[in-house]
Amino acid sequence: MGDPALADENLIPRHPIHSDPRFAWRSAHFAVNGNWQLLVENLMDLSHLPYIHPKTIGGNPELHFKTKTETTRLPNGVRVVRRMPSSTPPPTYVAARGFEGLVDRWQEIEFEPVLIRIHTGACDAGTGAYDGNRDHGFSMIGFHGITPETATTTHYFWSISTNALQNGIPDLVYQQTADTFREDQEVLELQQERINADPDRIMIDIASDVGARQAKQLIRRLIREEQDREIENAA
Ligand SMILES: [Fe+2]
């Protein structure tokens, strides 16, 4: 895709967590029958977790709904932060880290065109999770490389890194993450079917869509700039 002459290897995004000895990681590729921007929207709005992923990384729907979504525009991206202090840890967190009480949970998402890094995790409540003191807690760092194939199909390359390194735990985290992303895939494909059946229907954003909306605006701006350049070059 695109003009090979314009490719610049220095612009390939780095993901240094893959070579960080404090983390173990696994990766996969899913072929998704849905438009790539549906995947962007899904990942930028983690309020879907309790509805789609109650068996793994979900949690209380009401808590997710009430959690404030803070977004920041970056020079070439969007950052989303959500915090859930003193909350019940979801099943994957308990299985991987053995939490017994309430946790201070975080969700931090960084979008840059077009990949998404998501750092989620938790520490025992009141032990410094929000002061940058997280090594004693549980971290899952997801890398989402979203590659359009056609208007309605997408290559979804992803990896999941975790700092829970005990025997078998990285595989457990990978397996539960893969199960989780299969649930997302099913939703995206159903969304695409609905869109195909009624393509002119207008989409409506709700409050928790703020991160996805900013990502979409950035993508639109980049497409416009590229088209302007092409027109200039042709002139
Ligand atoms: Fe999901």
Instruction: Determine, yes or no, domain membership for 81.
Output: yes
Instruction: Determine, yes or no, domain membership for 83.
Output: yes
Q: Encode pLDDT of 28-39 as tens digits.
A: 999 999 999 999
- Distance of CA 230 from the midpoint of ligand 1 (Å): 36
- Distance of CA 184 from the midpoint of ligand 1 (Å): 5
What pLDDT is stored for residue 60 in this prediction?
84
- Distance of CA 11 from the midpoint of ligand 1 (Å): 28
Instruction: Determine, yes or no, domain membership for 9.
Output: no
Q: What is the CATH number of the domain that holds 31?
A: 3.90.380.10
Q: How many helices (H) and strands (E) does the chain have?
A: 6, 7
Instruction: Determine, yes or no, domain membership for 1.
Output: no
Q: Encode pLDDT of 100-136 as tens digits.
A: 999 999 999 999 988 999 999 999 999 999 998 899 9
- Distance of CA 48 from the midpoint of ligand 1 (Å): 6
Q: What are phi and psi of 14, to 5 degrees?
A: -95, 155
- Distance of CA 42 from the midpoint of ligand 1 (Å): 6
- Distance of CA 19 from the midpoint of ligand 1 (Å): 25
Residue 60 in contact with residue 54, Cβ under 8 Å? no
- Distance of CA 140 from the midpoint of ligand 1 (Å): 14
Beta strands (DSSP E) in the chain are 24-32, 70-74, 77-87, 103-112, 115-124, 138-150, 153-162
Instruction: Determine, yes or no, domain membership for 163.
Output: yes
- Distance of CA 57 from the midpoint of ligand 1 (Å): 9
Instruction: Determine, yes or no, domain membership for 8.
Output: no
Domains identified in the chain, total number: 1
Q: Which domain holds residue 50?
A: 15-234
- My answer on whether omega of the bond before 114 falls inside 30° of 0, hence cis, is yes
Instruction: Determine, yes or no, domain membership for 4.
Output: no
Instruction: Determine, yes or no, domain membership for 206.
Output: yes
